[in-house]
Each structure stands twice: as structure tokens, then as C-alpha cells.
Amino acid sequence: MRYNPLGGVMEMAGSDSTVKLALIVMYVIGIICLGITFFLLNKINGKFFTKFSIGLIAVILVMGVILVNLFNLS
């Protein structure tokens, strides 16, 4: 077994792409949950926007900013 001094750097690059993929998957799941929430709120209450849905929108927007910054930095 040979020692590779760049092994740590290569491993870090691999984990960076894994983190990006995880963030994208979380963002897509959040968008899907937001759509389901709007659909259910419309069926139950007859209105889209409640405190819960506005909170979800805020979380989705923050995650979008994080994703944009992540891809712009790399």
C-alpha cells in the first residue's frame, strides 16, 4: 500500500460533490413539500398562505441562496 500525500485533498473534493448533491436533493424535497402543503391548505382551508406555508417559503428561499452561493464559489 502506497502513501498518497494528496489523498486527503482528493477525498475532500469527493465529499464536496456529495454535499452539493445532498443540498440539491434537500432543495427538491423542500419544493415538493411546499407544493403538497399549498395543495392541502387549499383543499382544507380554502386559502394557500398561512404562517406554516410562509415559514416553508422562507426555508426554501434560504436554501436557494445557499445553493447559489455554493455553486458560485466553486
- The one-letter amino acid code at 19 reads V
- Is residue 8 a part of any domain in this protein? no
- Is residue 2 a part of any domain in this protein? no
Give pLDDT tens digits for 34-65.
Answer: 788 778 877 887 777 778 778 878 888 888 88
Domains in the chain, number: 1
- Is residue 48 a part of any domain in this protein? yes
- Is residue 26 a part of any domain in this protein? yes
Residue 69 belongs to what domain range?
Answer: 20-73
**Res. 4 pLDDT band, cuts 50 70 90:** low
Closest listed residue to residue 22, CA positions, set 70, 62, 59, 57: 70
Give pLDDT tens digits for 5-29.
Answer: 555 555 555 677 888 888 888 888 8
- Is residue 10 a part of any domain in this protein? no
Stated pTM of the model: 0.57
CA 61 to chain centre: 10
